[in-house]
Structure formats: C-alpha cells, structure tokens
A and B are shown apart, each in its own frame.
Chain A
Amino acid sequence: MNASSAMNNEPLIRIEAVERTFGGARRFLAPPSPLIHAVNGVTLTLRRGDALGVVGESGCGKSTLARMIMGIIPPTAGTIRYRDTDISSLRGADRRRLYRNIQFVFQDPQSSLNPRKTVREILEAPMKKLLNLDAAARERKARELMDRVNLRAEFLDRHPHEFSGGQAQRIGIARALAVDPDVLILDEPVSALDVSIQAQILSLLKELKSDLDLTYLFISHDLAVVDYLCEQVAVMYLGQVVEQGSVGEIFESPRHPYTHVLLRSVPEPGSHRPTRMELSGELPNPAALPAGCNFAPRCYRATARCRGEEPDLRGYGDGGHRAACHFADDPVPPPEDAITERNA
C-alpha cells in the first residue's frame, strides 16, 4: 500500500493559505462581535492514495477546514484546489460535478441520516443526482454498497432510527462511496462510537481504502486512531498547522512542543499515576490571540523571541517533515511535572 501511494502520489487536493474567520459583525450599540480566526493560513496537500490525518483539540479549526473543502462553508481567503480546479468558488452544477470525486463522512451518524428516508433512498439519491443511473443500476449498486460495508441487503428498506450508531455510520460510509469518489473527507467518523464499534469502523475504513484505492482526509482528535489509519499527519493548534509529516516521524520524533504535549497527554493503558507533565493553562481566547507564537503562553520552552516573533512552518530533513517552532532544530521533550506556572 505504501508502495502504491509512492508510485502515484500526484496531488489531489491542494489547500493554499486558506483562512476562515467567524464573527466580527458590527452590532448595534455594542462592540463588534469577536472576530475569530477559525482557520488561519493553512497550506496542505493531499496526495493520491494517502491518508492524511488532521489532529488537534477542539477549536483548532480542523472541522472548519473539512467543511471548507466540501464547500459547506466558503473560505475567507486562500484557495482550495481539486486537481486543477479551484473548488472554493464552485456553484450549482460545477459543485455537483465535484461531489462525484470528493465525498464526506460525518461525525454523528444519526444526525447525518434523514429520519424520514429509507436507507435505499439515502443511498440512491447521489447515484440518481450525480451519476444519472437508472433504477435497475441503482438497485444493483445499493446492494453492492451494503455488502461492501457489511450490512445485509434487506436493511435497505429500513429507516435510520432502526440502526445502532455503528450501523448508521456504515450507511454514512456507503452513501459517501455511492458515487465512486477518489477522495473521502472523514470528520471524526468514529468519535461518537463505543470502543468495540469504533474498531469495526476503523477496520472497514482501512479495508475500503486499499480495496477501492481511496484517498482519505481524516479529521480526528484521537492520535491513536490517526496513528492506526493514516500515513501522513498534520497537527493543528488555534487555526494553524504547527507540524506535519509522516505519521512515523511526527509521532516518534516530534519537533513542535505542542505535538510533544499532545502525545504525552494520551492516557496509556496499564500505566500508573499521571506522572506526565501537564500542559499549563488552557486554550487562549481565539478572539484575542497572543502576539508571536500562538502556543507560547502555554509552552514549556517559550522565550521572549517566541512571544514576539511568529515562527514559520519550515521543513526539516527530506521526508516532508515541517514544524512551526523557533526551536524545531533542537526538539526537547517536555520535562515531567515541570510546569507549575499558570496563566490566569
């Protein structure tokens, strides 16, 4: 699989300097609503056959990024290209054509299925609207899809509320696959599921990817899940990518302090006592970002330089490893129990 992705690693989606702000509206007799940079200058490339994980905590902008790729919300600045088309400004029929190539799997499997429709109607809608298949072909394909996601074909006539979360998510995946897309954008597809069900979906996703030669953009807050499913990873913090590269390199030798902290925060089974360092303070108000490096107020290595000068995302080595930290040349893991200072 790695070999195949190396062979045809043409870029499928190119995200360039994309920004998205919310708020900032002027209000009557009140200060304007706070302007929030949900995504603040993100550049990423998704290559054919890759699975790119985008990780980060809530509010880092990862879901906004996914929704911009799907055109659910437009970017405020920057471009998003699929192959050679700029997709952020597509409308009507052009956008629908795009949806034959890129599809989306939602976080909450139940709310992404219309309770009034049968599974058949849900699966056949994209075939009818996007592929113009006739009834017989749609029926055949719907059955194939159900088989693909390990659901029985007689479920086609049921309504979403008759399914468990895991089954509903399989239907969500089947719908996304109905148009034979190249790329799947998956927004936290397993985070609403129980552990044992999550494993079923993850295995299915892994299998589908190699069987159907799919490319994934996988949004998650769960590093272990990304580690399992993805080859590439981008770590986001407050709307920016702070580190990216291959999963092996990022997770084994991270260069950005935030990545270090994130990795160290994942509770490990079988260990005892939380002796690991804790990250000081909390996410700063996204409407009042600090000067310099966004992470500086919480960082164990921050210096005056970090608080004044914003670090660029620079490359390290030739494996595509990039990090946005003034000290990325000399990564140092966080000291255990070191941080006592807190910001109010």
Chain B
Amino acid sequence: MAVHSKFRRFFYNRLATVGLFIVLVVLVVSAAAPILPLTDPNQTVLTNRLLPPGSEGHPLGADELGRDMLSRLIWGTRVSLAVGLSATAIAALVGSLIGIFAAFYGGWLDNTLMRGIDMLMAFPYMLLALAIVAVLGAGLFNALVAISVVNIPFFARNVRGATVGLVRLEYVDAARLSGKSDMEVLFGELLPNVLPVIFITISTTVGWMILETAGLSFLGLGAQPPTADLGSMLGEGRKSILVAPHVATLPGLVILVLVIGINLLGDGLRDVLDPYLRSGALVSPRPATEVDTDLRRRLRSGDAVEPGTEVSPDGPGGNDGGGNDGGTVPLSVRELRTWFWQRSGRTSSAVRATDGVSFQVPRGAALGIMGESGSGKSVTALSVLGLVPTPPGRIMDGSIRFNGEELIGAPIERLRHYRGNRIAYIFQNPMTSLNPLITVGEQIAESVRHHQGVSRAAARERAQELMDKVQIPNAAARVDSYPHELSGGMRQRVGIAVALANDPDVIIADEPTTALDVTIQAQILKLLDDLRRSEGVSLVFISHDFGVISELCDRVVVMYAGQVVESGTVDEIYRHPLHPYTRRLMACVPRLGDRARALTAIPGLPPALDDLPTGCRFADRCDVVTDACREAPVELRGHGAREARCILVEETSA
C-alpha cells in the first residue's frame, strides 16, 4: 500500500515524469545501439568531412573525419552513461559502507575514517580528480576511478550523518534488548532506514558525475581515441567550432538533456523518499493565515456569522452584543472554523482543526482553554491574529472581534498593528520560539521600537525594565545574553517579557509551562498570575492540564475534536462537569494522594478530523451514548451560566 502511494505521488509530479521519460529513452536507445541500423561510429569517410546536419544519410551531419554524428552520439552516450553510472555505484558502495560503519561503531574507527574523509574533502573537488588522473595516466577507466574516489566523501558524510541520527533512536536500543547482535542491528534495523538517504545522495550526484567524467574526457584526460564518449566528442569538435559548430554543440546538448532528465527524476525520487520533504517541511507559511475567499466576500457584504446569532441565543455568549460590547469584552470569537487542507494526489480534503469555536474573553479575565492534542486549542489561539501557517491552514468561517473590530479578513497592516501590541502571545517552547542568534534584550526591544517608535537606547532600557519585571535576576547583564545562555525557566520569562513589551490588552499563552519542570512551572504560573492582576491584562491560557488552568483561570472552555464541548467556571466544571467527555477526562487523571481511586480510562481514540461523524464527536467513546446522539450534529447549548454540547445534559445534570 505504501509502495503504491509512493508511485502515485511520483507520477503526480509532472516534471519527474518528464525526467523519467528522458532517462528511459536515453537508456533504451543507448542499450539498443548495437541493433539499431547505424553506420559504424568509427568509419571515417573523408569526403563527408564536417557535413552539416540534415544531409542525406547523415541526419545530424558528420565530424571532421567524416564520421556519422548520429551514430557517434548514440555510441558516445552509451560510454558516458556506463562510466557515470559505474562511478556512482562505486562511490555509493564504498562511501556508504564507510559512513555506516563509522556512525555505528563510533569512537576511534569513526575518528580515523572521518578524518581521512575530511582530508579528501580538503582538496578542491576537481583538483583531486586531476591528481589521480595524473598518477594513473589519461584514460577512461582511470577517469572513472578518479571520479569515484572524489565522490566517496559525499556518500560517507551523508550516510554517516543519517546513521548517527538513527543509532541514537530508541528502536536500535530496543533491537539490542531483543537480543540482536551488532550485525543484525546494523543490516536488519539500520540499513533499511538509511537506504533512502543513499538513494537521495545518488540522485543528487549521478548527474554531476556524468558531467565530471565528460569534463575529464573533454580535457583529453578521459576517453582516448578511438573510444569516444560525449565529452571527448565535444573536446574534438571544439577545434572546428568556427566552421562546423554542430560537431561540438550536439554532444553538449545530449549531455544537457540527459543530465536534466536525471536531475528531474532525482528531484521526484527525493520528494517521494525524503520523509522531511514529504511532511511538508519545505513549505513556507505566509505572513498571515489565508481567509477563504467566500468568507471574505460574505464578511464584506455583512453576510457572515454575526456574533450571537448562530449559537445558543439563551446561552451566556448569546447576549454578547458584538461590536458595541467591545468595552467589556475585548476579545470575542464566534463560530471559528480553521481547517487544514491536505493534498493527496489531485484531491484535497479538509482537516477540521477548529470547527465552530466560540468564546469570549472579558476585560481583565483569565480564560482557560483545555483540550488534548488535536482538540484544536492551539489552532484557535493562533487564528486570533492569523498566525496559523498557510498552507495548509485556511480560515473558512467565523468572526474574531477585538474591541469590536473584525480581525478575520482584516488587512495585514491591521493585524500587524495588533500583533505584539494589543494582543500578545507566549509560546510553548521557549527554546525554539526565541531567535538563537539575537540577544534576548534585542528580541524584547525590537517589539517596543516597532510599536512605540522609540529610540534604540530607550527600547533597550525598556527591555531591561521588562526583564526586571519578570524577575530575571541581574537583568542589566542578561540583556545582552543569547537564549542558549539562559535556562529554560529564564527563557520563558523572556518570552513573557516580550509579550508584556507594549502593555497589551490580551495575552494568549499557548501551553507556556508544558516544556518546563514542575518546580519551574510553579514559578512561572505564580509570575503570570501576579502580572495579569497587576497589569490588568486579559489572559487566554491554553493547556492540556486542568490543574494548571485551575491555578490561573476563572472560566474554562473544554475542547474536543475541534469543538467546544463545555464551558463554565473552573469550580463548576471541577465539581460538576456536564459533558460526559469532561467528566470522564477528570476521572482518568491520576491525583496525588488519591491512591485508592481507580482510573477509569476513556476507551478508544478521538475521531479523525478529516473524517468526522455526523452526530456527537464523542459518541464512540461515551458511556451514556444513545442512538439520538449519532443522528445529527449536537449544538452547544446554554445551561444557566454554562454551556455544554450534549443532548443528554438535562437528564444527567441538574
């Protein structure tokens, strides 16, 4: 199945198919050279000297000795291909073995082998090839040896790099614990995973090696008459370039087309084989999340979701007056749908990361958004200022209002005006979300400068103040530190200082303590709690941990499979969860000092977000599910000051 889909992906890549076609044609024609009706490539007919292309019997003309160009080109391609491919095979075999053994055994073997490789790489590439040919003498076989040797380092380095990464993986340890010997681990576990890297390296070097062998022949150091490859034909044709340019032009063109074919094919193979490329790692996100064109149009015509019109008119969110309420509700999200469009072949399908999310953040309040991975909590947070990466993300529906102003579809300048200024973010991993090459002080100061237009010196002073405020010891000195010089907890304090830089109205914190140890988490939570109260800022706090949310937040929104399933105050939800998911989630978290309690796990898995059921999304894992649950989408309905998305709530609660 996997193989099948790889083929499909390959053929959807039109350029790769073109490459494959070129390579196949060249391979077939040069393999068939002996049976094709060609004149002897070495037959010299002096009367045909430098015959131009299109001449009778010689469609591509003849060279300075009157030999048929077409025949010579086909036979020459045969030689060039054979030499290039053999050189690749030798370099790949030797280099890969060196790389894999060096990585696997490490220590002195690794050191010795890789220092040797470094030595080879200390020479400019061609120079070493020339030196080897100088020793062995001019000749096709010697050129092959030279090109192989100079390419060994590429394979050795790439394969070693890939293997070193794999050797550290736990499945290698696991294989040892299964009783496998070194050789079994090396060839049974590692090699299959290294093979793609070897193929990728081949695909990038084979074209190059054909060019290089042709080059040596061109210089007169490769193929010697009467043997001719494309390079030596080109070299000989150069003498008559003035009178008969086709003699030199044609072999070069054949090389060009052949190598283009190989490179296109190689690129296609790489796309298929490289998990890194496949994961979409090489797609750059745009400055702001794309908004669906249909939604844009509706927003312009005032047709889009109006706050409070679609969901639960009697719910607590229902009486939000939208724009006019901006005074008390700075941030209001309604029916937000941010989907990820994934492509497989020619069809694309939507992963409904958030699918109708609504909540409000009153001024000065702290709202928790709780959910497991894939619940859509982070996507919700990032959607607010268009930070969901596009591609693949696209906002399909909904409304996000900040102090009454619609943010979805707002011009990028407006979003930039709010970003880091009125609404600021704190991200999960303080190591990766700070730029490693810029001092932490500058990372705070640049935001101050941009939004407040103050001088460098003033911004730097402000940065230091902020670092004091987030209780970074010795801020005056730490202003010039780089992120890697700080501990995890300190880095997250810097992240908080960045968020506070322009006294924002709302701070959105996306799992800011998840990457930290508990004692450091306790420090950061305390700091956040103190700051939000002293600065009067509204906080949206995203977490998978109800305990953490309890410490900080007044209200909490529980998300499951892209939807809000329940909202209410932290106390209410803790004491009396309405939705079966919330109830069961609480029951399956182990608690300190509650040893006797049995954990009742929720069976099964959340539904796939690109293949959602019609009815309740929790139905398959629910212990009180009824037939009615699966029939139609379940709405989020108000229950007093709370909301729940369950048709059974009346019966099970109250």
Contacts and interface: CB of A to CB of B under 8 A. Distances in A.
B599 A203 contact: yes
A82 B522 CA distance: 39
Interface in A98-125: 99, 103-104, 106-108, 111-117, 125
B590 A224 contact: yes
Contact of A228 (B473, B570, B584, B599): B599
B550 interface: yes
A1 B541 CA distance: 42
Interface size of B as a range: 35 or more
A195 B544 contact: yes
B228 interface: no
A268 B592 CA distance: 8
A272 B551 contact: yes
B523 interface: yes
Contact of B177 (A58, A103, A196, A273): A103
B265 interface: no
Contact of B574 (A248, A252, A269, A276): A269
A112 B474 CA distance: 43
Contacts of B519: 57, 261-262, 265, 278-279
B178 A223 contact: no
A268 B550 contact: yes
Nearest to B603: A200
B585 to A, nearest CB: 6
A247 B594 CA distance: 11
Contact of A203 (B372, B518, B525, B601): B601
Contacts of A247: 595
Interface stretch (B57-65, B166-174, B302-310, B452-460): B166-174
Given A196-B602, A199-B600, A130 B178 contact: yes
A267 B551 contact: yes
Given A114-B175, A203-B601, A227-B595, A265 B522 contact: yes
A151 interface: no
B555 to A, nearest CB: 12
A134 interface: no
Contact of B522 (A200, A276, A282, A344): A276
Residue from B177, B548, B550 whose CB has the most chain A CB atoms within 10 Å: B177
Nearest to A121: B188
Contacts of A57: 517-520
A343 B473 contact: yes
B517 A273 contact: no
Interface in B574-605: 574-575, 584-586, 588-595, 599-603, 605
Q: Which of A128, A225, A267, A279 has the most CB of B within 10 A?
A: A267
A251 B593 contact: yes
A72 B173 contact: yes
Interface in A226-277: 227-228, 247-248, 251-252, 261-274, 276
Contacts of B601: 196-197, 199-200, 202-203
B171 A114 contact: yes
A278 B588 contact: no
B189 interface: yes
A324 B45 CA distance: 99
Interface in B540-560: 544-548, 550-552
A175 interface: yes
Contacts of B294: none
A269 B588 contact: no
Contact of A112 (B171, B545, B600): B171
B43 interface: no
Interface string B513-535: 00001111111011001000000
A263 to B, nearest CB: 7
Interface in B455-507: 471, 473-474, 487, 489-490
Contacts of B473: 342-344
B179 interface: yes
Contacts of A58: 517
B626 interface: no
A222 B517 CA distance: 10
Given A111-B169, A269-B589, A175 B174 contact: yes
B614 interface: no
A221 B518 contact: yes
Contacts of A279: 519, 522-523
A49 interface: no
Contacts of A104: 173-174, 177
A251 B171 CA distance: 35
Interface string B598-620: 01111101000000000000000
Contacts of B180: 125, 129
Nearest to A123: B178
B577 to A, nearest CB: 11
Contacts of B170: 106-108, 111-112
B571 interface: yes
Contact of B592 (A113, A130, A227, A282): A227
A175 B173 CA distance: 13
B199 to A, nearest CB: 14
Given A225-B590, A227-B593, A194 B175 contact: no
Contacts of B176: 72
Contacts of A113: 171, 174
Closest 10 CB pairs of A and B: A129-B179, A199-B588, A267-B547, A270-B574, A199-B601, A112-B170, A57-B517, A126-B178, A228-B590, A200-B601
Interface of A: 57-58, 70, 72, 96, 99, 103-104, 106-108, 111-117, 125-126, 128-130, 159, 164, 166, 172, 175-176, 178, 194-200, 202-203, 221-225, 227-228, 247-248, 251-252, 261-274, 276, 278-279, 282-283, 342-344
23 contacts: A72-B173, A99-B178, A106-B174, A111-B169, A112-B170, A129-B179, A176-B177, A196-B602, A198-B588, A199-B588, A202-B590, A224-B591, A227-B592, A227-B595, A251-B593, A268-B592, A269-B547, A271-B550, A274-B551, A274-B552, A278-B522, A282-B520, A344-B473
Interface of B: 2, 169-171, 173-180, 184, 189, 192-193, 372-373, 471, 473-474, 487, 489-490, 517-523, 525-526, 529, 544-548, 550-552, 570-571, 574-575, 584-586, 588-595, 599-603, 605
